Amino acid sequence: MKPVLSLLQFTTILPLGKPQEFDHFARYSWLYPVAGYVIAFLVAVPVFFITDQTLAAAVAVAGVILLSGAHHFDGLLDFGDGLMAHGDHEKRTQALTDRYVGAGGIAAGLGVTLLLFASLHAVTSIISALIIG
């Protein structure tokens, strides 16, 4: 159980007690999908009760980003900055690792978030899409 608890502490913002060692789940990388299923289930619960498709899609996007601690979103912003940075390899790497978000990061974050929202809005079952995703 320690590997699963450690994984969820690392990949979510869930208050799961005393912090576990990173090594507990590092040796069990095959457990990563469990975190995705837990996040999807917890987001799907409120989405199930929302009848408006637009609002349900918005809640799903916000829920996934917030519940995951925005780890992937932060990485997306960094990637966008590195992708749009002008200059050599060193300048692009510096843009990836600095603490500021530039136009490239904002463009990547907005683009991907809008695509996710539109996709969830268009599907027949947002809950199925969350679990499959």
Task: Return the pLDDT at 52.
Answer: 94
Say which range, 13-27, 42-56, 89-103, has the weakest mean pLDDT.
13-27
Mean pLDDT of 72-81: 91
Cα(70)–Cα(128) distance, rounded to whole angstroms? 22
Q: pLDDT grade, residue 22 (50/70/90)?
A: confident
**Cα within 13 Å of Cα(75), Cβ side:** 6
Q: pLDDT grade, residue 18 (50/70/90)?
A: confident
Mean pLDDT of 77-90: 88
> What phi and psi, each to the nearest 5 degrees, are found at residue 57?
-65, -40
